Amino acid sequence: MKTITMDVLKDAANRLLFDMSEDEYKTLYEEFRILTKQMETIGKIEGLEEYPPMTFPFDCSTTYLREDVAEKPLPREEALANAGSKQDNQIKLPKVVL
């Protein structure tokens, strides 16, 4: 496991194209230090490797989902029938990009 240092945090922030104040870096570093200690403590539990990793704390059943079966698409006129605004056989929406 790679050691988390201030330089690692700053490099990651730079790669993600954002920056933080020194106080924010110190807070983030402290949080990673605490998480690392917690992971080390959990890793010391005897017999832990006998259990499969958990991805979600509850059993999830997806039997209610239907099979994805391809069907004949709606005719264009019927698909556009309830559209509030249409242009060139497409639904016209307001601009959302600034």
Token digits of residue 17: 């194209």
Identity at 85, one-letter amino acid code: S
- pLDDT by 10-residue block (mean), the chain, 98 residues: 85 91 94 93 91 83 80 91 91 87
pLDDT given at position 41: 94
Please tell me whether residue 53 adopts helix, strand or coil conformation. coil
Q: Report how far apart, in Å, the C-alpha atoms of 16 and of each of 12, 72, 83, 89, 94 are.
A: 6, 43, 39, 40, 30
Quote the pTM value: 0.50
Please tell me whether residue 79 adopts helix, strand or coil conformation. helix
Asked whether 25 and 9 are in contact (CB, 8 A), the reply is yes
